[in-house]
Amino acid sequence: MTDPAEKKQLLHLVFGGELKSLGSMEFRDLAALDIVGIYPDYASALAAWRAKAQSTVDNAEMRYFIVHLHRLLDPESAIPGKG
């Protein structure tokens, strides 16, 4: 059983890597992707994303992203009006 006071877990993945070019969303080397981690909520993921993005500010081609894993795991929850 879960505690009703417990927040619903909404998993988010933070990852990044060097892009082939500034105008592209293609990574230069998939084997070198930096998987920062999986976080239980958007606020935690955003804090991790900010820290990694700030640490790579000198490399213009390095990009970090937040992926809403909860939307991939439960597509119905991503549809407006469906919870």
CATH assignment at residue 55: 3.30.70.2400
Domain membership of residue 7 (yes or no) is: no
Say if residue 1's pLDDT is above 90.
no
pLDDT tens per residue, range 21-77? 988 899 999 999 999 999 999 999 999 999 999 999 999 999 999 999 998 888 776
Domain membership of residue 45 (yes or no) is: yes
Burial class (CB within 10 angstroms; exposed 0-12, middle 13-18, buried 19+) of 45: buried
Task: Provide the pLDDT for residue 72.
Answer: 86
Domain membership of residue 69 (yes or no) is: yes
Q: How many domains does the chain have?
A: 1
Other Cβ atoms closer than 10 A to 14: 24
Domain membership of residue 3 (yes or no) is: no
Domain membership of residue 35 (yes or no) is: yes
Task: Provide the pLDDT for residue 64.
Answer: 96
Q: List the structure tokens of 36.
A: 């920062």
